[in-house]
Amino acid sequence: MTFLKAIWRIIMGVKDVLVLCFLLLFFGGLYAILSMAPGERPLHTHEGALLLDLNGSLVEQPQETDPFSALMGSDAPVYEYRLRDVVSALDAARTDAKVKAVVLNLDGFSGGGQVALMRVGKALDALRAAKKPVLAYATLYTDDSYMLAAHASEVWLNPLGAVGLSGPGGSMPYFKGLIDKLGIVAHIYRVGTYKSAVEPFMLSAPSPEAKAASQALADTLWANWQADVAKARPRAKIATYAAAPVQLVEAAKGDLSQAAVSAGLIDKLGDERAFEDRVLALAGEAPSMQEGPAFAAITLADYARAHRNARDGQIGVVTVAGDIMDGEAGPGTAGGDSIAALIDDALENDDLKALVVRIDSPGGSVLASEQIRTALAAARAKGIPVVASMGDVAASGGYWIATAADRIVAEPSTITGSIGVFGILPSFETMLGNIGITTSAIKTTPLSGEPDVLGGIGQDFSRISQLGVEDMYRRFLTLVGQARRKTPEQIDRIAQGRVWDGGTARQLGLVDRFGGVEDAVAEAARLAKIDPAMARPLYIDPEPDPFTAFIARMTGEGEARTHARAASRDLVGYQVARQRTMLFRMLADARMMAEGGSIQARCLECGTFEAPAPTQRAGENGLLALLSRLLG
């Protein structure tokens, strides 16, 4: 009897938890619908410091939170901050008398691309020019976080912290030895001397051409980084600190923070409490209802929502961010169907006079890239000018899309080019033979049962696949040649899958001019015969459903902040975490390449120069897990 009572109590407990979760989700969804409806409640009513407590990465377009993964506690995307939101908030703060200072807390910042970081730095410079104090704080400054902090009027460092500058670069794994040991046969179809994306599957080390290209790109990005930081902090001994860190640390007797001060990288040493006291003197005390810091803080999320762009612009801006894939996909991933549908819907707006396609993608599916390019070409056919604006990366499939534009605008640190295509298909006949499994095939034509990944891919299929890749490369060259007014032969000499920085790409004629998305909007306005000073952007973004948006708010930045604060913030701990994250990303690339059978216009080597997002802790991020911790 006692046992039955215990079972009954367990059943009733489970029922109560389910009812509680249902009520929370119901009222949470209702709140999300109301909070995002027209007539949104007023935001940002008090004075204080605009707080950019960046606990995640800076991206062109944040990925959509998977509500079921977030609820059940499986891995969820790292919190991501939209570049446009950060920039618009900083621009608004420049003339807002209620904003007494801008504060960057970079302890949890996991990075961003160099183009995005430079754009934020430009906005911070404008604040300083307007005599608005900008203060930055961190326990550990890395390349990315220091690139932002350098534009602050005061750079603070925890006395137990450090500035670790490493520059772009790192190890790239090569899987040829493992593939051979496992008995896997990698069938690789490619075009391009520099198409090094597939080299990890066919070589044990990079080819001389690929290594030279990667080194040249890394050197250029590092030079651009140093130039940006040196301009923001001319007294800082950046070159010396990066080239000879051991000597500086030895001179400081092992005190990493003091070494950074001696090199002029840091203005003041102090812990977080001392930093808050400094901001408090500028911004005033926190309101009684405010949680968090002791000073009056205006959160970035609230301030950005209060200063959204009005949806009445004449220049449409469509974002192509992340991997380009076939079919539909949410924000942060460029689904061919989804992006093409957004463009087609935008063209139904009679007030739309021009289009800007903002590209921040290493490429992906050729078919999806062509689908998006075709939609943009249809806009041009209707007399709508199109301008391509390149972000941090616009390579391979990203450049394929850009060929539909009247003009291409990029930044000197944009990673672009990689004009080449490839396909890879593994087969397992050797692996199976090693364990005693053989196959027998019946054919009626040379292509029966192909590609035969069990018994071995036939020569006819391989030959047709290679010819298909070569034909796709010719199509790529033709598209680029027509767009850049050159012959395919001229493009071939600068293509071959090589990745270029934006500065070199402009010299080669792959880019028309330098500038950001604002410059691209102005260029599109001129093409549409609109005064650029009167042009307003209309951002054409996929709209998340209210439930997903609510879950993202519940499990997003707050959880990211918790994990960032819990993570190791010293130099060694950060580098270990960064290398682990890079390994996971490379293994994910290997899995993607092994599973993907479509022809790809993708720049995998671009990932070496992108800021890795921190890994998530499985099973700890879900809303149900959060409720369990709170109730427990």
Q: Looking at the annotation, which residues are catalytic?
A: 195, 396
Q: Do residues 127 and 237 make contact, with C-beta atoms less than 8 angstroms apart?
A: no
Q: Do residues 325 and 336 make contact, with C-beta atoms less than 8 angstroms apart?
A: yes
d(CA 380, CA 378): 5
Non-local CB neighbours of 107 within 8 Å, separated by 6+ positions: 55, 137, 138, 139, 140, 564, 565, 569
d(CA 272, CA 292): 12
SS (H, E, C) 447-501: CCCCCCCCCCCCHHHHHHHHHHHHHHHHHHHHHHHHHHCCCHHHHHHHCCCCEEE
Element (H, E) at 82: strand 80-82
∠ Cα 24 28 29 (to 5°) = 120
Beta bridge partners of 134: 102
The terminus-to-terminus CA distance of the chain in angstroms comes to 29
DSSP 88-114: HHHHHHHT-TTEEEEEEE-TT--EE-H
Grouping H, G, I as helix, E, B as strand and the rest as coil, residue 608 is helix
Paired sense of beta strands 407-410 and 600-602, if any: unpaired
Q: How long is the chain?
A: 632
Q: Do residues 372 and 324 make contact, with C-beta atoms less than 8 angstroms apart?
A: yes
* Beta-carbon-side half-sphere exposure of residue 122 (alpha carbons within 13 Å): 12
d(CA 119, CA 116): 5
d(CA 101, CA 94): 9
Q: Torsion angle, CA of 601/60/517/88, rounded to 10 degrees? A: 180
d(CA 77, CA 72): 14
Q: Do residues 123 and 66 make contact, with C-beta atoms less than 8 angstroms apart?
A: no
Q: Do residues 173 and 201 make contact, with C-beta atoms less than 8 angstroms apart?
A: no
d(CA 515, CA 537): 16
* Among candidate residues 495, 491, 473, the one with its CA nearest the CA of residue 482: 491
What separation in angstroms does the CA of 209 have from each of 168, 192, 215, 316, 423? Answer: 19, 11, 10, 40, 20
Grouping H, G, I as helix, E, B as strand and the rest as coil, residue 390 is strand
* Among candidate residues 225, 226, 222, 215, the one with its CA nearest the CA of residue 499: 215
Q: Do residues 93 and 303 make contact, with C-beta atoms less than 8 angstroms apart?
A: yes
Q: Do residues 462 and 189 make contact, with C-beta atoms less than 8 angstroms apart?
A: yes
Angle between the N-to-C axes of helices 114-129 and 83-94, in degrees from 0 to 180, rounded to the nearest 10: 10
